[in-house]
A and B are shown apart, each in its own frame.
Chain A
Amino acid sequence: MRIAMPVEFTSPSPANEVAENFARAQTFVICETESEKCEIVKNSAQNTTSGAGVKAAQIIIDQDADAVIARRIGENAFDIFKEAHLPVYKAEYVTVEENLAAFSRETLPLYVSPSPKGYRKRRGRPV
């Protein structure tokens, strides 16, 4: 299975933290659960003025991901994933590795509704 997570790094490492926000993350890491290989995909929606969630969700779908793990998920992205039958899990741990392990143990909760509105990633904040 291909699991996608928003991150703020440009090279894949299991120790990377899952980003605070989905649509405005710098990159996505896509992890193959069988081979345990990870690749990084740039998030071209990061600095878009509107509709970042739609664009970011499109990127994930186009990467043939099977599931998403995120800390927050906006309404538009949530709707698209729902329509594409892509489950979105809540990231309950800090790193990509920990969340992936929890996903394999089937202990991560599933998002049943989008996160509350009003979150914007602050620029220039240390990552």
Chain B
Amino acid sequence: MNIAVLSGKGGAGKTFVAVNLTMVVPHALYVDADVEEPDGRFFFPADNLEAKDVTVGVPVVDPHLCTGCRKCVDFCRFHALSFINGAVRTFPKLCHACGGCMLVCPEGAITECRKPVGRIRAGRYFDHRLLFGELIPGEQTGVPVIEELLADIGEVEHAIIDCPPGAGCPVTACVQATDYCLVVMEPTRFGVHDFIATERLLKTLGKPYGVILNKSTSASTPGGQYCIDNALPVLARIPYDPAIASIHSEGKLVVEENEAQGHNFIDLRERLQKEVGR
């Protein structure tokens, strides 16, 4: 099964949950798909990472074939093409590599050239395979890196996918390849607000999901109340505890350092198996 670890709000604890959950699921593959801010690597001191580039096709216009009809310029909703002094100029930084300009050009004047937008590193940590996606800073979208990451998962029993925050295209790309979504919620009003955006996306995509309440202080938080009111399964609660935060901030795995959390994550694994099996 592929489990996506999501959150609406950034800083809710996606990486915290994903790396620790990976450690309690034997042979689980860890995928860092939060390509804009990849920090999963800090928790797995894996050496000898294999790296490969992720490239996208950006347009190159042949000025001899271009008749200046501007169909490509009008088509591009990202405004990555403009028409200046009788010629098409491209802005690869704005390009989302959809390939639409090549399709609409009646002269076949547009071809693609490969441009690197990110890289994927692969490694191992004990019995876990690791895949880390990284977007080159300044690039428009992490979706091509995420799609290639997910393609690299291959046949595995369990994959834990550490997703980007929010509810936009990168999250949608991640969620499509998963069987179940674990949404980490910071139980504040802010956290609930952003959770609802992600929840709407998951409902639209028809994906089953459950909640982890992170930095949980008591049952009477806005997040806890939201889960009760909407009958959402709360698979785990992680207490608001400086000791846990301190272990995590040093790049250590809390399941290895804190016995109570070790049990908490094993319980999470058990509950997750029941939820996914339903």
User: Interface residues, chain A, CB within 8 Å of chain B?
Assistant: 45, 48-52, 54-55, 57-58, 61, 76, 80, 83-85
Q: Does B73 contact A (CB under 8 A)?
A: yes
A selection of 26 A-B contacts at a CB cut-off of 8 Å is A48-B77, A50-B78, A50-B79, A50-B94, A51-B76, A51-B78, A51-B79, A51-B80, A51-B91, A51-B94, A52-B79, A54-B79, A54-B82, A54-B91, A54-B94, A55-B79, A55-B82, A61-B82, A61-B83, A61-B84, A76-B94, A83-B84, A83-B89, A84-B84, A84-B85, A85-B85
A50 to B79, CA, bound (A): 7
User: Which B residues between 117 and 161 are near A, CB-CB below 8 angstroms?
Assistant: 140
Cβ contacts under 8 Å, A55 to chain B: 79, 82
How many A-B residue pairs lie within 8 Å, measured between CB atoms?
42
Cβ contacts under 8 Å, B82 to chain A: 54-55, 57-58, 61, 80
Within the complex, the shortest CB–CB distance from A39 to chain B, in Å, comes to 22
A57 to B85, CA, bound (A): 13
Cβ contacts under 8 Å, A83 to chain B: 84-85, 89
Q: A48-B79, A50-B78, A58-B73 are in contact. Are A76 and B85 (CB under 8 A)?
A: no
Contact residue range for chain B? Answer: 10 to 19
A51 to B95, CA, bound (A): 9
A13 to B77, CA, bound (A): 32
Which of A51, A58, A76 lies in contact with B83, CB distance below 8 A? A58
User: Interface residues, chain B, CB within 8 Å of chain A?
Assistant: 73, 76-85, 89, 91, 94, 140
Within the complex, the shortest CB–CB distance from B96 to chain A, in Å, comes to 8
A55 to B75, CA, bound (A): 12
Asked if A76 and B89 make an inter-chain contact with CB atoms under 8 angstroms apart, the answer reads no
Within the complex, the shortest CB–CB distance from B238 to chain A, in Å, comes to 35
Cβ contacts under 8 Å, A49 to chain B: 78
Cβ contacts under 8 Å, B78 to chain A: 49-51
Asked if B84 and A80 make an inter-chain contact with CB atoms under 8 angstroms apart, the answer reads yes
In the complex formed, the residue of B with least CB distance to A51 is: B79
A49 to B81, CA, bound (A): 15
Cβ contacts under 8 Å, A76 to chain B: 91, 94
Given contacts A54-B81, A83-B89, 14 further A-B contacts (CB under 8 A): A45-B79, A48-B77, A48-B79, A50-B140, A51-B79, A52-B79, A57-B82, A61-B82, A61-B84, A76-B94, A83-B85, A84-B84, A84-B85, A85-B85
Nearest 9 A/B pairs, CB to CB: A51-B79, A54-B79, A55-B79, A51-B94, A84-B84, A58-B82, A50-B78, A54-B82, A51-B78
Asked if A54 and B80 make an inter-chain contact with CB atoms under 8 angstroms apart, the answer reads yes
Within the complex, the shortest CB–CB distance from B114 to chain A, in Å, comes to 21
Cβ contacts under 8 Å, B79 to chain A: 45, 48, 50-52, 54-55, 58
Within the complex, the shortest CB–CB distance from B56 to chain A, in Å, comes to 15
Cβ contacts under 8 Å, A84 to chain B: 84-85
Cβ contacts under 8 Å, B84 to chain A: 61, 80, 83-84
In the complex formed, the residue of B with least CB distance to A61 is: B84
Within the complex, the shortest CB–CB distance from B47 to chain A, in Å, comes to 37
A51 to B84, CA, bound (A): 16
A61 to B87, CA, bound (A): 13
In the complex formed, the residue of A with least CB distance to B93 is: A76
Within the complex, the shortest CB–CB distance from A86 to chain B, in Å, comes to 9
